[in-house]
A and B are shown apart, each in its own frame.
Chain A
Amino acid sequence: MKHLSLLKFMVIGALSCGIISCQQKKPGTVTEEGFPREKTLYLAGFQWGDPNTFNPLSDWPAFPVGGKYNLMYEPLVVFNSITGKIEGLLADSPERTDSTISVKMNPMARWSDGKPLTSADVKFTFEIGKRFKGAPTAYVWDFISDITVDTVVDSSASGEMKLEKIVFFINKKERNNPLVVMDILQNIRIVPRHSIEALLAEAGGELAELQKLKFDKDPVVSGPYNLLRYSNEKIVLKRRDDYWGCMALYNNRLPQPVYIIHPIYKSNDHFSIALQQGNLDISATFIPRIWLKAKEGVATWYKKEPFFIPATIPMLQINTTRYPLSDRNVRRAMAYAINYKDIRELAVSGYSPPILSGLILPFGVEADYCNAEDIQKYGVSYDPEKARAIMKEAGYTSVFDADGKLNHVKNAKGEKVPTMSVKSPAGWSDWESMVQIAVKGMRAAGIDVREGFVDASLYWSCMPVGDFDLLMQKPVPEVTPSKPWSRFDAVMSSRNWKPEGEKMNENQGRYNNPSSKDYNPEVDNLLKRIPTLTDNEEKIKAYRQLNIIFMQDMPALPLAYLPEQFYEFSTRNWINFPTEENSYAPPQCLCYGAGTKALWEIKSVAAE
């Protein structure tokens, strides 16, 4: 075999020239020996597939632009998912009045080219959405009617200082929803007016043209890192030692990692292997049975179950316009028939605490609104006997074969009830197991449901038009200030109700048709009212009402609680990651929300 490896090396040599010449070259000072391990943080699970663009005005740019990341472009404020508080970044935390939400800009904020980051940049960023329908900020104008800037004098111990105060006027005519405005303040990343205005002019004033630019060569950013280089295998960020926040927010300290590398893997198993081998420091992917990896130095937020902070609810959305799902009794029977304990233990590796009925998480920020009495009275739990009883009472007869398998179901008129199917993307293993367990329970209780795993692309196409009986879904998974309102809105709102076949982006189960005789106007009223409430008692009351309606009507079947983002870290090369015992920052993977501050606190093992 010796001559073989020699030949192989020759071939590699020849072909590597080709490969190198095809990689995007970025100016950088990296030595040929590679990035030093003790100064580099490896973080993965956010970028899948080739990086497409780093354009902050694109709808889905590559990591860490867009989305919720704060490493290159920053929002005005950030949300802390453990305290539920909105923390300042480019501006201080917002003040809310009846008709406005305002923030004061941090006067020390600077762009990477040294220019100050001011209210002009903020206004520019938002107003792009007014000028162009296709802009990522276009939707905000349903919620904001105007943005004005005042100058206020801030007197502190160090003397008087003039500050810019940005006032966002709530769009009372359209949506009148201060909660979403709060979301917007931490969702929208501010872009540099001076550089983008010029580029936009070059693009002939067309946003579509501007969106074709990749912004990958030394872009003007405000965050603590900037893009160094990228290929289809990884994205490399380098620390900006002149980041304004070091002085303004961190007592003149720098973030610990000089480089952040996001490797792009092609298979889920590789995250687990890389973490255990110490080639990856943080991963945001689903890794089953995480406790088995503890001996390799892999850990999570909690040391024990549920390991992660629950924040989202995967559920079966029900098409309430299709028979027999239009019958509330069938939906409630289904909810009683699902073995939630099996889902928790078998499908999601115990990463979910025991689930309670309703759409409100019984812990964390939402716990205030979750009422145990209501759940006791109206809620459901695994009880197959009860499921059978409901079906029987509603006039359905389940016909079983001799071997105990469900054959079909008849209704009161003696007609055969159509078999329902649960649409879910094929190959999403944790979702597949959840669906399998749910279907098994429902069939055992005499409800004729089958699994319907389809190609993901078909799944996405069927979702908005309501082409499903039941659909596995995880609506609005991000942890934002508007929870749990936004979850209710995504499942129950009939604000834009359309019949099956036309697209809806919320309430895809077509629950509560406004033109039907059973329309319950209270649902939409509550959804409209809750965002405007400021009194906590009133809010609790309204949420309780809404949750009771949900539990009675069951337009969807919540299955478990899962984290917003998985968060696993390896302590082989870096330590002092935020955990339950050391909760100085939320588990937001060191790159989004208030989680970014952990970059200043982690420590390199080699430096210890």
Chain B
Amino acid sequence: MLKRYPTVRYIVTRGGWYFLTFLVAVTLNFFLPRMGKSNPIDIIMAKVGGGLDTKAAQAKEEAYLKEFGLVELDAQKNIRRSADGKPVRTPVWKQFRNYVGMCLRGDLGTSFLNYPKKVVDIIKQAIPWTIALQLPTIIFGWIIGNVLGALAAYRRGIFDGVFFPLALLANAMPFFAFGMLLMYLFAIIWPIFPAVGGYAGNLVPTLSWTFLSSMAYHYILPFFSIFLILAGGQAIGMRSMCIYELGTDYVKYAKWLGVRENKILMYMFRNAMLPQLTGLALSIGQMIGGALITEMIFSYPGLGMALLTAIQGNDYPVIQGCTLLVTVSVLCANFIVDILIGFLDPRVKAGIAGGGK
């Protein structure tokens, strides 16, 4: 039946593949953190066990194993013990079963290291900051970078001569070095911007002008620390794509035909943009990880640090929650781009209509 609607079929098959990828990713998210040698209870014990006697520490450890569902319980909810008196650990496949069950119920669980905080709360409190910083930076960086790149390719001359090396420089600079440089210059040497935080230290989040302006003020350095580098990278990519397109037959042909320059530019831009669009989808997925360095340099609120602490501490539920979020956003962004390309790219479009893959 779907044969009659090639577009729908394209979307459905794509969606199916994405769902499969999702399942694999979720499984990996569960097993990868558990493959290391260290485990979260040892880290908790390092926090709370200081000064405790060996026996007292053991009692405490068992209380945590029980609370986090890492040991088997008997009917009276006591810890099941092996012959030598050691608690029986819950096998990983059982933990996986519990995890999948919880995921289906929409429950991401409770953090081990931030006990008794819910993973959902951790994500909910941090993610707006991450999105607020990363999304506009990525989108503006992408747009500005691509437009400037296309212009540089088309105009050449002095504009390109000055712009291209600058973009190369920006792109070659690591995020953290640039962030630290900005902070050193504009927050310490010439302190016109605040050095740390997402808003002034004496404020609490309210819907007031004071808070919002403080937030905007604290936003500037972190924003530029990502924006300039990102725009530079996009511009370089776009510039070379456009130069390539300038030399293609269809552009030459259009020029011979006397098609208006703006029209040619549009054709060219549309074709050169396709790989850039895939890049955009990927960078949206990398938002959380990318936020980490900016967060650390500026003590900016966000999810990156929460994820890093969780990974360092083997806080499985938080790692799973965050990676699930990353997985879903990467897959969604890619799916959307896939569909968009289907419409934008005449080659793919023709392929769909022709009943190809």
A292 CB within 8 Å of chain B: no
Q: Does A221 contact B (CB under 8 A)?
A: no
The reply to whether the CB of A70 lies closer than 8 angstroms to some CB of chain B is no
B114, A49: Cβ atoms closer than 8 Å = yes
Q: Which residues of A contact B216 (CB under 8 A)?
A: 8-9, 12
Q: Which of B47, B188, B301, B314 contacts A232 (CB 8 A)?
A: B301
Map CB proximity to A onto B18-52 as digits: 1 under 8 Å, 0 otherwise: 00000000000000000011110011111111111
Residues 115 to 152 of chain A near chain B (Cβ within 8 Å):
133-134, 138-139, 142
Contact residues of B between 208 and 225, Cβ < 8 Å to A? 208-212, 215-216, 219, 223
B87 proximal to A (CB < 8 A) = no
Residue of B nearest to A13 (CB): B212
Contact flag A464-B42 (CB < 8 Å), given A236-B204, A476-B51, A505-B53: yes
The answer to whether B188 and A458 touch across the interface, beta carbons within 8 angstroms, is no
Q: Does B324 contact A (CB under 8 A)?
A: no
Decide if B197 touches A461 in the complex (CB within 8 Å): no
A231 touches B205 (CB 8 A): yes
Residues of chain B within 8 A (CB-CB) of A28 are: 204
* Contact of A433 with B by CB under 8 A: no
CB-CB under 8 A from B132, the residues of chain A are 11-12, 15-16, 18-19
> A263 is contacted by which of B53, B144, B197, B206 (Cβ under 8 Å)?
B197
A211 near B116 with CB under 8 A, answer yes
Does A233 belong to the interface (CB within 8 Å)?
Answer: yes
Residues of B within 8 A of A35 (CB): 202-203
Decide yes or no whether A535 CB sits under 8 A from chain B. no
- Nearest A residue to B199 via CB reads A233
Is B38 touching A233 in the complex (CB atoms < 8 A)?
A: no
- CB within 8 Å of B: which A2-38 residues: 4, 7-9, 11-13, 15-20, 22-24, 28, 30, 32-37
Interface hits, A89-132 → B, CB 8 Å: none
Q: How many residues of A contact B (CB 8 A)?
A: 82
Cβ of A367 within 8 Å of any chain B Cβ, yes or no, is no
* Residue B279, interface by CB 8 Å: no
Is B53 a contact partner of A53 (Cβ separation < 8 A)?
no
A-B contact count (CB 8 A): 222
Kindly supply a per-residue 1/0 record for chain A positions 383-401, scoring 1 wherever the CB is within 8 Å of any chain B CB and 0 otherwise: 0000000000000000000
Identify the closest chain A residue to B206 (Cβ): A32
- Smallest CB–CB gap between B317 and chain A, Å? 13
Q: Does chain A have a CB within 8 A of B81?
A: no
Whether the pair A50, B125 counts as a contact (CB closer than 8 A) is: yes
Residues of A contacting B199 in the complex (Cβ-Cβ under 8 angstroms): 233
Question: At the interface, is chain B mostly helix, strand, loop or mixed?
Answer: helix
Contacts of B300 in A (CB 8 A): 266
In the complex, identify which listed stretch (B57-65, B95-103, B341-349) lies at the interface while the others stay far away: B57-65
Nearest CB of chain A from residue B329's CB, rounded to whole Å: 16
- For A55, list chain B residues within 8 Å (CB): 116
- Give the Cβ gap from B302 to chain A, nearest Cβ, in Å: 9
Considering only residues 88-122 of chain B, those with a C-beta below 8 Å from chain A are 111, 113-117, 122
Indicate if the CB atoms of B60 and A59 lie closer than 8 Å. yes
**Does B124 belong to the interface (CB within 8 Å)?**
yes
B52, B205, B305: the one contacting A23 at CB < 8 Å is B205
| Residues of chain B lying within 8 A (CB to CB) of residue A13 | 212
Residue interface bits B322-333, CB-to-A below 8 A is 1, else 0: 000000000000
**In A530-550, which residues have CB < 8 Å from any B CB?**
none
Q: Indicate whether A42 reaches chain B with its CB closer than 8 angstroms.
A: yes
**Complex CA–CA separation, A33 to B202 (angstroms):** 8
Report yes or no: A464 in contact with B212, Cβ–Cβ below 8 A. no
A15 and B201 within 8 A (CB): no
Give the docked Cα–Cα distance between A213 and B57 (Å). 23
The 0/1 profile, CB within 8 Å of B marked 1, for residues 282-310 of chain A is: 00000000000000000000000000000
- A229 contacts the other chain (CB 8 A): yes
Interface string of A486-511 (1 = CB under 8 A from B): 10001000011010000111100000
User: Smallest distance from the beta carbon of B224 to chain A beta carbons, Å?
Assistant: 10
Please tell me if the beta carbons of B52 and A139 are within 8 angstroms of each other in the complex.
yes
B46→A52 contact, CB < 8 A: no
Q: In the complex, which residues 261-282 of chain A have their Cβ closer than 8 Å to any Cβ of chain B?
A: 261, 263-267, 270, 273-274, 277, 279
Contacts A8-B223, A455-B312, A463-B46 known; A232 to B53 CB distance under 8 Å? no
B201 touches A456 (CB 8 A): no
Closest B-chain residue to A463, C-beta based? B46
Interface centre among A8, A19, A133, A264 (most CB of B within 10 A): A19
Verify if A460 is at the interface (C-beta below 8 Å from B). yes
Q: Are A15 and B196 in contact (CB under 8 A)?
A: no
Are A138 and B60 interface neighbours, CB within 8 A?
Answer: yes
Verify A464–B296 contact, CB threshold 8 A.
Answer: no
Is B147 engaged at the interface, CB distance under 8 Å to the other chain?
A: no
Q: Are B205 and A19 closer than 8 Å at their CB atoms? A: yes
Contact with B along A42-54 (1 / 0, CB 8 A): 1000000110110
A420 contacts the other chain (Cβ, under 8 Å)? no
Distance in angstroms from A154 CB to nearest chain B CB is 34
* A572 lies within 8 A of chain B by Cβ: no
Give every chain A residue within 8 A of B48 (Cβ-Cβ): 59-60
A212 touches B (CB below 8 Å)? yes
Interface: B2 (CB within 8 A): no
Whether the pair A505, B206 counts as a contact (CB closer than 8 A) is: no
Q: Check if A30 sits within 8 Å of B53, measured CB to CB.
A: no
Complex A-B: 5 CB contacts under 8 Å:
A19-B128, A42-B201, A134-B59, A457-B314, A503-B58
Residues of A in contact with B (beta carbons under 8 Å apart): 4, 7-9, 11-13, 15-20, 22-24, 28, 30, 32-37, 40, 42, 49-50, 52-53, 55, 58-60, 133-134, 138-139, 142, 175, 208, 211-214, 229, 231-234, 236, 261, 263-267, 270, 273-274, 277, 279, 455-458, 460-461, 463-464, 476-478, 486, 490, 495-496, 498, 503-506
| Given pairs A4-B140, A20-B211, A273-B196, 9 additional interface contacts (CB within 8 A) | A23-B204, A52-B113, A59-B44, A133-B60, A134-B63, A138-B60, A234-B201, A266-B296, A486-B51
Q: Which 3 A-B pairs have the closest CB atoms?
A: A134-B63, A496-B54, A32-B208
